[in-house]
Structure 1
């Protein structure tokens, strides 16, 4: 068995040493905040003690033809992200988590994923970062792809430790870290369920689309739709915020069901389609903190559940907002899940791509929060439409009082200097000037000439 001492710091700089594949496999849910399923997870290690660094998760590609490309992409992303955030990783740990399909055994899952594990090891090695351990976790058992010793890593695998019985579980409980269940359970909160009226919601989305498309194509109409979307979203956030707090013991499913009942299909359809505009979505991201952020998070979840049928791609916008608010409020596990679903709905959704990369790199969201606060304050100062607020007419920013020029005798020399024409140069007088006539005489001469021409034309 390969022994790799790893350390993590759950609280008060407390160091926890993990030895061997068994403790690594047990630590994975605490590292991610949930039990990953159908996932490839890669964790960077730094220093001689193997301090945990950046980590990333991706659904296992169903086609083996994609494994080489995905392996190279994951290795580059983890290494480059670690370099931007901290330093180049000294090693990497790989986890492949997948439960058996119908008629398949856990051992068969391990063998089927072995080529994928080998490609991941090769991709990391090509970047001069070794893979210290590669584990397969399936159906409550784990296997090591790196340990050839069958005495400690038998072909049938080893059972996972019972929940709550390991040193990592004790340290996580002391630090207040909790595991929220499986990845699929967390994803279910963001996908259409039994509480969503699918047919009614589809009709509302079709109707809203027919009504809004022509307006969005017009510049002025697009701005009006943006303002209407933000005002309606603000009202829904206030409505959810006024809802009675859930008593102790109520499940997350019950909370989501109650939120779904507070939002009409027509309201949901209007906000979903309005959020497809990038600028509108960016302004909606300003609901990100405090009680306002909590209510906005509930709204974005509810809207993601309303993207049914052919409107699944439209869920990328509310899902990205779920990921942003979750990350902004310190809930990285929920952010990773939501952003992963957003990219599954629309792999080219740039907002979700950037947030997912930043979350995986362990960046601080405060930089983006400051930017959004500044945009909101600037728009409010200029009388724009703030998120959730009514439109305020624009007012000219106050400036210094205008001064009237004093016409006194003391100012006459300055005024006379302004009237003076440029002096002639060596080649003669400047263009448009006279060599000998003062300014006042030239003005009278021009008036006389105009009168003479006018008199000639009138016959006088």
Structure 2
């Protein structure tokens, strides 16, 4: 997963009737309100619907070559996804947005995917790069109130939500620091020693050869943590958090936690695994980050799931559970429990 360019599966419940609807819909398509970004929506004709979306974060150091490379990658994907047309929305000042829009329009045109609308959004107004009529698209832009849009109301009614910004989403999962981090380092060393004692003279060969004693203690720790969060008392003690991080290194223990996530319990699991993810040492992030992504997926919060997977990939880009969940999100697979049957055939569970 690249950090500044990500594809998003687009919900099928939003109907776009014009520029104002497009601007109102984007936050619910991405799951957050974008800023200093370029958003590209791919459309199919048969049946008429939004198919996929890209959001590329702008950076001050971006060059024309960067814009061209990104545009070509997006255009190739639009063609590969059999999109018949595209919509482009840039957020930020004209000097930043215009070169990116030009690059995407040119690349998409070369791939045979025409851009039907291209907009710039800033300071509560939008401008069209396609419409030349001063009556509907005046030089000073068109003011809009996304909260008053029927698109926003429809999105919310269908269970969609939007974080205030991408940075707020990332801050929500930021690792703890300061004294708390120092206590976690010490607690992790203690937890690792405890795990080593359970393994005895037989250290694991491979990722899940932990033995029955270790697995039993790990499953017990997971179930106790889930029970605690269901009582609205998530674990906060560094020792318990560090121990959860260590035992989740056992695939069987992690999968036990996965099986406990359901639609009704997903909110509690989301709180639990966020707490663990933010506290554990980096090496132990992949399992709780992936469990958090599953919990968010069950609650239709793809943006949070993506952000959790981003934390995982910072440590282990090949962590199999994260890759599985990422594929499901990109394919638009609806939450079906553990794990989606449609994915089991192509991605078998790891053996104990």
Which TM-score tier does this pair reach, normalised by the shorter chain?
A: 0.7 to 0.9
Task: Tell me which residue corresponds to 2:238.
Answer: 265
| Equivalent-residue separation in structure 2 for 1:359 and 1:153 (angstroms) | 36
2:43 to 45, 49, 54: 45
Instruction: Give the secondary structure class of the aligned counterpart of 1:18.
Output: coil
Equivalent runs, 1:240-389 vs 2, <5 Å: 240-243=229-232, 259=234, 262-278=235-251, 280-307=253-280, 311-312=281-282, 314-344=284-314, 346-366=316-336, 369=339, 371=341
What is the Cα deviation at residue 306 of structure 1? 0.8
| Equivalent-residue separation in structure 2 for 1:59 and 1:348 (angstroms) | 24
What is the Cα deviation at residue 204 of structure 1? 1.6
Q: For the Cα contact (< 8 Å) 1:319–1:339, is it kept in 2?
A: yes
What is the Cα deviation at residue 273 of structure 1? 3.1
Task: Tell me which residue corresponds to 2:204.
Answer: 218
Instruction: Give the secondary structure class of the aligned counterpart of 2:121.
Output: strand
Equivalent runs, 1:62-211 vs 2, <5 Å: 63-64=61-62, 66-77=66-77, 80=80, 82=81, 88-97=82-91, 106-107=92-93, 110-147=94-131, 153=137, 157-159=141-143, 161-172=144-155, 174-175=157-158, 177-192=160-175, 197-209=180-192
Deviations 1:278-301 (A, max 9, x none): 554344322221444443222111
| Equivalent-residue separation in structure 1 for 2:210 and 2:36 (angstroms) | 41
| Equivalent-residue separation in structure 2 for 1:345 and 1:149 (angstroms) | 50
2:221 to 226, 232, 248: 232
Instruction: Give the secondary structure class of the aligned counterpart of 1:133.
Output: strand
Q: For the Cα contact (< 8 Å) 1:236–1:263, is it kept in 2?
A: no
Deviations 1:238-297 (A, max 9, x none): 111123xxxxxxxxxxxxxx63xx331111112223334555434432222144444322
Instruction: Give the secondary structure class of the aligned counterpart of 1:129.
Output: coil
Q: Quick one: structure 1 residues 170 and 235, their matched pair in 2 at CA, closer, same or farther if it must change by over 3 Å?
A: closer
| Equivalent-residue separation in structure 1 for 2:265 and 2:153 (angstroms) | 34
User: 1 or 2 for the larger relative contact order (CA 8 Å, sep ≥6)?
Assistant: 2
What is the Cα deviation at residue 25 of structure 1? 1.1
| Equivalent-residue separation in structure 2 for 1:195 and 1:290 (angstroms) | 35
| Equivalent-residue separation in structure 2 for 1:328 and 1:355 (angstroms) | 11
Deviations 1:13-61 (A, max 9, x none): xx84521x33311221233343134544332212289522333445446
Bigger-Rg structure (1/2): 1
What is the Cα deviation at residue 66 of structure 1? 4.8
CA RMSD in angstroms comes to: 4.0
Give the TM-score normalised by structure 2: 0.74
What is the Cα deviation at residue 152 of structure 1? 5.3
What is the Cα deviation at residue 235 of structure 1? 1.0
Structure 1, gaps ≥5 residues long: 1-7, 83-87, 98-105, 244-257, 375-384, 386-460
Task: Tell me which residue corresponds to 2:7.
Answer: none
Q: For the Cα contact (< 8 Å) 1:56–1:78, is it kept in 2?
A: no
Q: Quick one: structure 1 residues 22 and 79, their matched pair in 2 at CA, closer, same or farther if it must change by over 3 Å?
A: same
Q: Quick one: structure 1 residues 123 and 229, their matched pair in 2 at CA, closer, same or farther if it must change by over 3 Å?
A: farther
Give the TM-score normalised by structure 1: 0.59
Q: For the Cα contact (< 8 Å) 1:190–1:319, is it kept in 2?
A: no
Instruction: Give the secondary structure class of the aligned counterpart of 2:52.
Output: strand
Q: Quick one: structure 1 residues 227 and 50, their matched pair in 2 at CA, closer, same or farther if it must change by over 3 Å?
A: same
| Equivalent-residue separation in structure 2 for 1:186 and 1:334 (angstroms) | 7
| Equivalent-residue separation in structure 2 for 1:62 and 1:360 (angstroms) | 28
Instruction: Give the secondary structure class of the aligned counterpart of 1:164.
Output: helix
